[in-house]
Amino acid sequence: MLKKILLIMTSSLIATGLISCASDNTPQPQPMPKIKNYDTIKQGWVQRNLDNSSAGSFVPVNFDNAIFTADSSGTIYKIDPSDGSIINSFYTREKLSSGVGVAGGSVYATTIDAHLIAVDKGSGKIKWKIRLPTVSLEAPQVGADLVIVKTNDSEVLAYNTSDGSPVWVYQKPAPALTLRVTNTFQVIGNEVVVIGLPGGKLALVNLKTGVPIWENYVAIPEGATDLDKITDIGMRPVLDDKRLYVAAYNGKIACLDAISSNIIWEKKFNTSIGLTYDQQNVYAVSQDGVVYAFDKNTGSQVWKNATMQYRSLSAPAILGVGVLIVDNDGYVHLFNRNDGQETARISTNLYDGVSLPLVRDNGVVFQSANGILELIKNY
């Protein structure tokens, strides 16, 4: 019990991006510099009917020419991506801890009392409900007729989409203390799932069998105490052709060969936020809110921008010629991909943290902890 209490306390502190002995010692952001808005971004549509939900655990997804998402009250939504209107919504009568995964005729989510539910996409009725070993704060994902769930104790489980029957389990021993994270695995096609684990390890697992294809360390835990040794992969790995990009808290950012797991390049880095890429660079936000661009092929630093440091930034997304990021106060920032200069900024109602970005042809969709679903777009 003591271990669990310490884990939750530590995780809550880490979620702020800083661990401080006293609030007076917590670094404070500098006033935002004025910018000339060389580029243009604006709010597209805004959907305000969602309830407050934990930032990161509820991730909007594209499916069936619509956007699906959920909120902590237990409502699942089908959203028209053209104007943000609600096409359909279902109240599940379950308090949700994360969502959603979508495939075929079902939407999948997890509950605060540690269940996985499958909801009929047409009627809203719960098709099946199974108990998980522990609660899950990560949105389920679906592939090869399996729904994949990762629980808070880093156990990854696969269930049959038709009836919820268990198919396989993948788990490795966890360190004494770990981060409380919300996006650490990615189903890729109908073949594999790449999983970020506590202790700095990354695994590529056969989606159908749960058998690891390879396991490799992105970073090695170091330090005198369990707190010092927290080196978890707390972000969703991303695949670009045959290369995987990933970063670890208190560890490194790295590029790995997806076939062999050999590390192509690595740099000391500290994040649990997330990253994205384009044809030239990998873009990442450090734990303290500094935005970086690294060369995709060599890992060399192309630029960094520290003007938004300590503002609790979101994972980055590509929008037009820029890198789009949201801060905790609802400001949306666009950084030039070539030199890192901030070229546009708008104020929104996306407060208190947002989901992973959902990139679409008409812009980028975020879901915020205060119950706003919003499209950010270029003019």
User: Nearest-CA neighbor of 158 among 232, 108, 221, 94?
Assistant: 108
Question: Looking at residue 229, what is its pLDDT?
Answer: 86
Which amino acid, one-letter code, is at 307? T
364 with 375: CB under 8 angstroms? yes
For residue 251, what are the contacts with CB-CB under 8 A and spacing of at least 6?
200, 218, 219, 220, 231, 268, 269, 270
H-run or E-run covering 10: helix 2-15
Distance CA 265, CA 295 (A): 10
Backbone angles phi, psi at 24, to 5 degrees: -65, -25
Are the C-beta atoms of 307 and 270 separated by less than 8 Å?
A: no
Residues linked to residue 205 through DSSP beta bridges, in sequence order = 193, 212
User: Span 65-86, mean pLDDT?
Assistant: 97
Radius of gyration for the chain, computed over Cα atoms and rounded to the nearest angstrom:
20
- β-strand 126-131 against 166-170: which pairing, if any? unpaired
Whole-prediction pTM value? 0.91
Residues in a beta bridge with 326: 332
Q: What value does the mean pLDDT take over residues 354-379?
A: 96
**7-11, 173-177, 209-213, 228-232 — which one is most confidently predicted on average?**
209-213
Of 329, 326, 132, 211, which Cα lies nearest the Cα of 147? 132
Q: Per the structure block, which two tokens stand in for 266?
A: 């690595």
Distance CA 88, CA 70 (A): 12
* Both structure tokens of 347: 């104020």
CA 194 to chain centre: 14
Assigned token pair, 106: 């079902």
Distances (CA, A) of 205 to 139, 220, 228, 287, 342: 18, 21, 29, 28, 39
Sheet holding 61-63, edge to edge: 61-63, 66-70, 75-79, 86-91
User: Which stretch of 56-70, 92-106, 107-121, 164-178 has the lowest confidence by average pLDDT?
Assistant: 164-178
Report the C-alpha gap between 87 and 80 in whole angstroms: 6
Of 89-103, 165-179, 201-215, the range with the lowest mean pLDDT is 165-179
Supply 328's token pair: 């905790």
Q: Is the bond into 187 cis (omega within 30 degrees of 0)?
A: no
Is the Cα torsion angle 304, 310, 314, 319 positive or negative in sign? negative
Burial class (CB in 10 A: 0-12, 13-18, 19+), 89: middle
Dihedral sign from CA coordinates of 222, 225, 231, 232: positive
Q: What is the predicted pLDDT for the residue at 179? A: 85
pLDDT tens, 233-289? 999 999 999 999 999 999 999 999 999 999 999 999 999 999 999 999 999 999 999
pLDDT band at 24 (very low <50, low <70, confident <90, very high): low
Which whole-number Å values give the CA distances from 281 to 38, 68, 258, 289, 303, in the listed order? Answer: 21, 30, 18, 18, 10
pLDDT for the residue numbered 20: 37
Consecutive H or E run containing 4? helix 2-15
